[in-house]
Structure 1
Amino acid sequence: MAPSMMASGRHNTVLLLVVVATLPVTTLLLWFNYAAVVLAAQRSRLSLRKQKATWPKTALITGTGTAFGLNLARALNEEGYRVVGADVVVRDSLSIAKRSRAISKHYSLPVSAIQNAEYIARRILVVVKREGVGLWIDCSQNLPLRTIATTRTELQEKGACACIAADATSIQQLENREAFLDFLRERSLPAPEVHQVRSRSDIHNVLNHSQGKKQYMLTSPARAKPFDSSTLLPRRSLSQTYHEVSLVKVNANSPMLLQEYADPARTYECFAIVVQGVVRFFGAGQNAEFAGGNVHQDSALWQAMRAYTDAIARELGQGFSSHLTLTFGVIERVSQAGVESKLLPLKGAYQPNPAFVLPVGKSSDLVQAYVSVSQLATNGKSSLAIRETTMTTPSTTHKHLTRQRYFLLEDIANLFIDPCIGFLRRRTSLGQVLTSIVTMLHRLLFWDEAYYDFWDPVPAFWQYSVVFAWTALFASSPCKLARSTSESCRGSYQA
């Protein structure tokens, strides 16, 4: 067994023991939470139920099991929507959003049928007609892209409701990384260089043409990922570069890829809601996977990402209405005039990145963007009229797109278990351990957990803990839980 797999197994076992040890305390706190909700909000809940009976607006959210989908359901519920949820679950009893007060009714999609696009489309169409849905928002992470596109086509042909989801016309543009880059180059948009090399001389030709101003990553087509660290070229000296290239085994029948490299520590992510080819909401921030810093709205970097996103939205056409998540890399080049920064797109996706948990409160710009989509659709306007309205109305923006909420059990693992194990193995200093623990305690004090909400304490922390521990112990990814036969569980949306 590989050392990394053994370490992951020990990590999951320790995490499971922590969850089991804290279950009595968390269960007691949960009961206190429920008691406080009942005592403090009984009258408001009764009036709210009477108000719900008169709510004419209904929204369907697929992917309510994600933190983004669950918090969006809560925000739309506060905005005056009746929210219907749907998600793919392994076991119906483990659905984390099924008992949320913000979701009036929840439907479970069978795991065994997620590859059957026609079946899922008919199933969602039945839900839309039965519940009187006027707006469908797709926030799912494990439905294949073809299934989402087929469902949207079915809903549009029936005139069932407005849709914020990937469509069949544009899915080919972000089907994979190669298609995404080809789409950018065909429209003269900046894109990273990718060369197919069939011999060592091809590698040297590309490196000589760049004259040392660019860095490239040499990978096989099977490992052609934006942050793959296979072979970075050129090296510090010419002799080191020639030595590294001489060790590479290049087959003319199976060419390798030499792609322009961007430092993963300097990657940024932007998220947009696009309606009829126009950006209605835009937010940008540093990639939370590596740093998670802010990008100021008046900075040149923010403006460049916004302009690039607007250009892609226009090129996708008037029929495109969906989420759009883009990851950018920043490449610095030294010239006589100074240091020049170049922004390059690395990948794209049609769904919100699960690493970001956006602030989706009632008054947030994000929720208002969704509400505007529903209002435009219910007014009975044509596609051209909707586009003219969105063109004359300035799109909303969010200054920061950072991970403003956290996942408690992940923090326990990353800020407590891992540092303590590292300290026992003399890999981490005592100061680093104390800093991590203080950070965790600070987050516990202000309690801004991604799934938990005081007025809607569902999913129950007890249930959340059991589900998380069970998943970590017996499965390595959501795709394995769903027994998907392709890479579409998390990667099908991503280019």
Structure 2
Amino acid sequence: MSALGVRRAGLRQILQLIRRFQQGQILRHLLRITISLALLPLDSTILFVAIAIGHLSSLFSHSGPAKRRSEILRDVQFRPKTILITGVNTPHGLRVARCFYQEGHRVVGADITDIALASGESMSRALLAYYRIPKPQYGSKLLDVIQREKADLWIPCSQDTSVMEDAMAKQSIESKTGCKCITLDAEVAMQWSHRETFMQYLIENDLPIMECHQVQSRDSIHRILHRSPTKLYHLRRSAPALKQDTTIVLPKRTLSLTYLEVSEIQVSKDCPWLMQQQSRLGEFVADLLVVRGHVAAITIRPAKEESDWGCSPLNDGVAAAIQKLMENFALKSGPRNTGHLSVRLMVDQELNVNSIRYVVHIAACAHGAATITQLLHSTPVYSLISGYLAICSESGVVPNHSPEVLHGHNRTGLSKNPSQRPSLFRMLKGYDVRKVLPALYPVAQLVDRALYEVVELLFWKNWRFSTTDPLPWWWHTHVYQPSRELNLVLQHH
């Protein structure tokens, strides 16, 4: 066969693969539409029952969200605020909107999208108005919405915009309107977005970080150990090209063993080693809402999902040490520090004669809409709303909540990580079956994805569903999503 024939045969095979892929995509779209139509009678019945129960409870019940909202609105001293929330098409965005609505405020929702079809979240009873903001005109359109609705507070929850885009929008909004913004200033956001500049900021403000030294002699190793006798270090070669990387733990049980170990290390200027401080208790995460340099809400959790840390009286000391450091961290950043933060922390313990002291070091910091989820699910509504609204008050003072309120009523302040849905992929990965059956991993991922999509159609696992606000779930499942699937099918043709 000639070279031209080989090329044509290869091209035909590529086109066949593309057609098969497109056919598979079309079948998946059609399957989702079919499932949505099959569940329509059941889900419509659930929708009407939920609406009926909501109306009856508002008429006869003496408690509940509807009753609380009506009581708040009857208070002559209550002054509702207009809250703009971008990203109501996210779980945390819709939850924040519902929380503010229950507390009697006017809520305006917006999504960063070019799709003209109304989303399920736009149908929420919590929203007084809803806007679609195109990504290319994000800053200008956002400013138009704020001026039109006379918004008092903007809370960015969208994951379709970057931290710097939100920071630049804040600069424009607060300079031209009276609206306050729950996001970092552009200068702070830029500094904290890069690890090197963030670490430099921590050092300049005398905040604790994990030590990391490049050592070039045995004397420098001894000096570091003598300066910090209670700290634990890992020592490894700096050269990344070495296939077998030896890690040495220092100090040893006795001083003589430590000296013996160091004396055998071949370290010099030409062959430096890296000496990194380690934490004995592991890594934790503090999710924060910071308003004008004060912690308005905080949730503390272990970084690893399988960690045994959680609600236990033995964890009080760890939680107290972390909270104290986070309050100091927020305070040193000053009034410009307003936003959602997720701070990674390394916790060490120093054993004294009659006591144990917990020492917390800051390892990294993430900020923006992506850090909100855990905080919202672990913080009481009143604490969250009052923390947000503190920025709108003339004094700007954040309410001084008790530790129980700040930590979501956990006595210790340490929250357990939320249990994840069952996953075939994670189970197989735990047994490391790839060595035996390498094809099982992608199959397991496909099974997990299919199960997730089926479960999403069931209201009791869908974050859009609420007994007091069921329409977003129904509209998304039976109007918005099928319309998008049908549009994708037509595009393939």
Q: Same fold (TM over 0.5)?
A: yes
Moved more, 186-195 or 86-95: 86-95
Give the aligned partner of residue 365 of structure 2.
348
Give the aligned partner of residue 456 of structure 1.
470
Shift of 1:304: 0.9
Distance 1:394 1:335 in 2: 30
Distance 2:431 2:25 in 1: 13
- For the pair shown, the structure with the greater C-alpha radius of gyration is 2
Shift of 1:156: 1.5
Shift of 1:146: 2.3
Shift of 1:467: 12
Q: Deviations for 1:334-378, whole angstroms, at most 9, x for unmatched residues?
A: 7777876532211112235559445559xx63454324543762x
The structure-2 alpha-carbon separation of the partners of 1:22 and 1:349, relative to structure 1 and needing over 3 Å to count, comes to same
Alignment partner of 1:458: what SS? helix
The structure-2 alpha-carbon separation of the partners of 1:355 and 1:69, relative to structure 1 and needing over 3 Å to count, comes to closer
The equivalences for 1:138-157 within 5 A come to: 138-157=156-175
Contact persistence 1:360–1:367 (CA under 8 A): no
Alignment partner of 2:310: what SS? coil
Q: Which amino acid aligns with 1:347?
A: A
Give the aligned partner of residue 98 of structure 2.
74
Shift of 1:310: 0.5
Alignment partner of 2:83: what SS? strand
Distance 1:462 1:293 in 2: 41
Distance 1:374 1:350 in 2: 19
The equivalences for 1:409-424 within 5 A come to: 411=422, 414=425
Shift of 1:306: 0.7
Shift of 1:426: 7.7
The structure-2 alpha-carbon separation of the partners of 1:221 and 1:179, relative to structure 1 and needing over 3 Å to count, comes to farther
Aligned residues: 413
Distance 1:76 1:292 in 2: 34
Tell me if 1:176 matches 2:194: yes
Give the aligned partner of residue 121 of structure 2.
97
Q: Which amino acid aligns with 2:232?
A: K
The structure-2 alpha-carbon separation of the partners of 1:208 and 1:359, relative to structure 1 and needing over 3 Å to count, comes to same
Shift of 1:217: 7.8
The equivalences for 1:397-476 within 5 A come to: 397=406, 398=408, 399=410, 401-404=415-418, 411=422, 414=425, 447=460, 449-454=462-467, 455-456=469-470, 458-459=472-473, 460-461=476-477
Give the aligned partner of residue 384 of structure 2.
369
Q: 2:331 aligns with which of 310, 314, 317?
A: 314
Q: Which amino acid aligns with 1:144?
A: S
Contact persistence 2:106–2:127 (CA under 8 A): yes
Q: Deviations for 1:227-259, whole angstroms, at most 9, x for unmatched residues?
A: xxx96742699999999989x9989xxxx9764
Contact persistence 2:235–2:276 (CA under 8 A): yes
Q: Which amino acid aligns with 2:172?
A: E
Unmatched segments (≥5 aa) in structure 1? 1-13, 114-118, 223-229, 428-432, 470-495
Alignment partner of 2:319: what SS? helix
Q: Which amino acid aligns with 2:343?
A: L
Q: Deviations for 1:78-120, whole angstroms, at most 9, x for unmatched residues?
A: 2223322334347565966344443444434434x3xxxxx53
Give the aligned partner of residue 36 of structure 1.
46
Contact persistence 2:83–2:155 (CA under 8 A): yes
Alignment partner of 1:215: what SS? strand
Q: 1:283 aligns with which of 287, 299, 302?
A: 299
Shift of 1:136: 0.8
Shift of 1:24: 4.9
Alignment partner of 2:151: what SS? coil
Alignment partner of 2:396: what SS? helix
Give the aligned partner of residue 88 of structure 1.
112
Give the aligned partner of residue 299 of structure 1.
316
Distance 1:190 1:72 in 2: 33
Give the aligned partner of residue 11 of structure 1.
none
RMSD, aligned CA:
5.5
Give the aligned partner of residue 6 of structure 1.
none
The equivalences for 1:227-266 within 5 A come to: 233-234=247-248, 259-262=276-279, 266=282
Shift of 1:301: 0.7
Shift of 1:138: 1.9
The structure-2 alpha-carbon separation of the partners of 1:258 and 1:140, relative to structure 1 and needing over 3 Å to count, comes to farther
Alignment partner of 1:234: what SS? strand
Q: Which amino acid aligns with 1:274?
A: V
- TM norm structure 1: 0.63
Distance 2:212 2:343 in 1: 18
Tell me if 1:269 matches 2:293: no
Distance 1:401 1:464 in 2: 36
Distance 1:300 1:193 in 2: 23
Alignment partner of 2:470: what SS? coil
Distance 1:453 1:232 in 2: 54
Alignment partner of 1:140: what SS? coil
Distance 1:37 1:391 in 2: 39
Shift of 1:182: 1.8
Distance 1:327 1:74 in 2: 29
Distance 2:307 2:423 in 1: 19
Unmatched segments (≥5 aa) in structure 2? 1-23, 59-65, 253-257, 439-443, 486-493
The equivalences for 1:183-198 within 5 A come to: 183-195=201-213, 197=214
Shift of 1:328: 1.1
Q: Which amino acid aligns with 1:32?
A: L
Moved more, 82-91 or 130-139: 82-91
